[in-house]
Amino acid sequence: MHSTYDLVWYAAERTPDHLAIVDDKSGRRLTYRELMAEVDAIAAGLMARGIKRGSRFGTVLPNLFEHCLVILALARLGAVPALLNARLTADEIAELVKQADLDGAIIMPSGDVAKAVAAVLPGGAPLLCATGQLENVEAIVGCRDDSAKLAPFVRPEPEELAFIFYTSGTTGLPKGVEIPHSATEPRIIWISPNAGLRCGTHNRILGLAPLSHAIGLYGNFLAALTHNATYYVVSQFDPAKVVDAVADHQITYLFTVPTFYAAMTQAPNYAPEKMASLDLVLYGGAAIAPQLLDQMDSEWPARICHIYGTTETMCSLYFPDPVGQPTRLRPGYYSRIRVIRYGGNHDDIVAPGEEGELIADANSDPVFTGYLNRPDVTAEKVRDGWYYTGDVVRLRDDGDAELIGRVDDVIRSGGENIHPEDIEEVLGTHKGVRELSVVGIKDPYWGEMVVACILPDDPAPSAADLDAFLRASPLSSYKRPRGYVFLDALPKNASNKILRRVLRETATRARDAQGSADNSGPVFYGIGKGK
């Protein structure tokens, strides 16, 4: 087993004078030799402030240069970074700091966050600010000391905690996901056999995904440093700036969610020739629009690979040639999966051609050990050595699987199981739809009524327009929405995921308000029976 610090230190030993990291804000550049010296100085500063092996330290930051350095400094000490989403509210951040029993934190210059976090940290615990000045909070630039004071690095035990990630939290506060040191190396290694990333200084990797996300930490940052690549910081996603960064730095590798790729191709300065350096492009975390995948395939020279995983499992499935088959996945390195009947146990496996819930071997090396201080949720998601993903797939004859949607999102309407993604894929191609989400709401006629929640484009379509569009499409008639709600925005959490739970409540209120005197909220438009 090798820890995060081991792997980066080995890379620095191999290519000490190769460029390791470049800051997009200051232009600061560090070679691997300089990076390790900087990391040691910060580690010594954190040690002087009481952080040691086993300490839990919160990083509440976007993808800053300073965030990268602090993560590695904590790894040098054997401390545990708790990677909190900086887009959470001050109260949410404070509650997570309290729940995790953190020994210190680093934040952005926000007085509200500083006050909330300071109130729940232990007395004397270090609270640092990554950029700028903040009253009564020490700036990270001053958190340095003589690296000669550091004790020799001692490799942690495999079962010791390495990182705490947080799930997206579509219901309530995010849950802490505990990742042991034994998972670090396999969470990086799979990229080579599954996607084809080769070790070497020819790699130039753009840090598009958040460091608080498994893709951002393992799939971008640590993938770069452990493969002797150069990591280019993207402190804030701006599509136009990212397009220019790919061209200016001759980026070879990207790994992020499809939303970012869509934004890049729609940027005013986008041109296919600016993507000419790309060799490998991975996407995951959400479904990709087929038309976007086709565009990337035709305009970018890179090999494109679909990656499926969760914060808890990392990469469970992948597909090396997703163009024309964007939902197809296959088990890869470290993968052991099954497809079981809804509500069944791990031995209740479906036959080829049938759909069911995807479960993954919880004893596989990359998999988490549990949810922080939540044994109840851990017991619910990990049963008899299998992690229940909550995702619906259809098992293929060849052993591959087709990704369909979420178990919790399945709409049971008129005796049929309907997956929102099937409708969203078709309805999303209407030129009058900017964004949408399909949900099911309780209904006495249908059991659950299919409702499309629409963020319209200009000119906005009517419910009748959208219904006619679907009638003329290949979508099965029983899947057509029986209600439409038009909104000014779709509710999302701090990880930018649509909150279907909130949409169900909104759609239900709008439906129930039909004909009432209160017409202040969104209007519900019914189609056909049961409207």
- Mean pLDDT rounded to a whole number for the chain: 93
Instruction: Write out pLDDT tens, residues 453-485.
Output: 999 998 999 999 999 999 999 888 889 999 999
SS3 262: helix
Q: Token pair for residue 312?
A: 């808890």
Instruction: Write out pLDDT tens, residues 421-436.
Output: 889 989 999 999 999 9
d(CA 287, CA 417): 20
Burial group, residue 95, by CB count within 10 angstroms (0-12, 13-18, 19+): middle
- Contact 333/325 with Cβ under 8 angstroms? no
Judged against a pLDDT cut of 90, whether residue 210 lies above it is answered with yes
Percent of the chain with pLDDT over 90: 82
Phi, psi of 4 (to 5 degrees): -55, -50
Give the angle subtended at the CA of 224 by the CAs of 218 and 226, to the nearest 5°. 80
Q: Token pair for residue 277?
A: 């350096």
Q: Which helix (H) or strand (E) holds 243?
A: helix 239-249
Q: Which helix (H) or strand (E) holds 151?
A: none
Q: Token pair for residue 76?
A: 């040098």
Q: Is the dihedral of CA 289, 295, 298, 299 positive or negative?
A: negative
d(CA 487, CA 506): 10
In DSSP terms, 360 is beta-bridged to 337, 387
Q: Token pair for residue 341?
A: 């009947």
The CATH-assigned architecture of domain 410-526 is 2-Layer Sandwich (3.30)
Residue 151 half-sphere exposure, CB side, CA atoms within 13 Å?
A: 8
Instruction: Write out pLDDT tens, residues 83-114.
Output: 999 988 899 999 999 999 999 999 999 999 99
d(CA 99, CA 38): 31
Give the angle subtended at the CA of 164 by the CAs of 254 and 89, to the nearest 5°. 85
Residue found by looking up tokens 């052993």 in the block? 399
Q: Which helix (H) or strand (E) holds 501?
A: helix 500-512
Q: What is the per-residue pLDDT for 101?
A: 96
Give the angle subtended at the CA of 80 by the CAs of 370 and 24, to the nearest 5°. 115
Q: Is the dihedral of CA 159, 161, 162, 166 positive or negative?
A: positive
Judged against a pLDDT cut of 60, whether residue 169 lies above it is answered with no
Query: What one-character-per-residue DSSP string does 308-335 give?
Result: E--TTTS-SEEES--TT-TTEEEE-TT-
Instruction: Write out pLDDT tens, residues 12-55.
Output: 999 999 999 999 999 999 999 999 999 999 999 999 999 999 99
Q: What is the per-residue pLDDT for 18?
A: 98
Nearest-Å Rg of the Cα atoms of the chain is 24
SS3 139: strand
Would you list the domain boundaries of the chain?
410-526
Taken as a whole, the chain contains a residue count of 531
- Contact 262/214 with Cβ under 8 angstroms? no
Which residue, among 415, 417, 387, 414, has the nearest Cα to 404 in the 3D structure?
Answer: 417
| 3 state SS for 433-456 | EEEEEEEEEEECCCEEEEEEEEEE
Q: What is the per-residue pLDDT for 476?
A: 84
Start-to-end Cα distance in the chain? 59
Helix %, strand %, coil % of the chain (to 5): 30, 25, 45
Judged against a pLDDT cut of 60, whether residue 241 lies above it is answered with yes
Looking at residue 142, its amino acid is G
Q: What is the per-residue pLDDT for 472?
A: 95
Is there a cis peptide before residue 122, judged by omega within 30 degrees of 0?
A: no
Instruction: Write out pLDDT tens, residues 354-365.
Output: 999 999 999 999
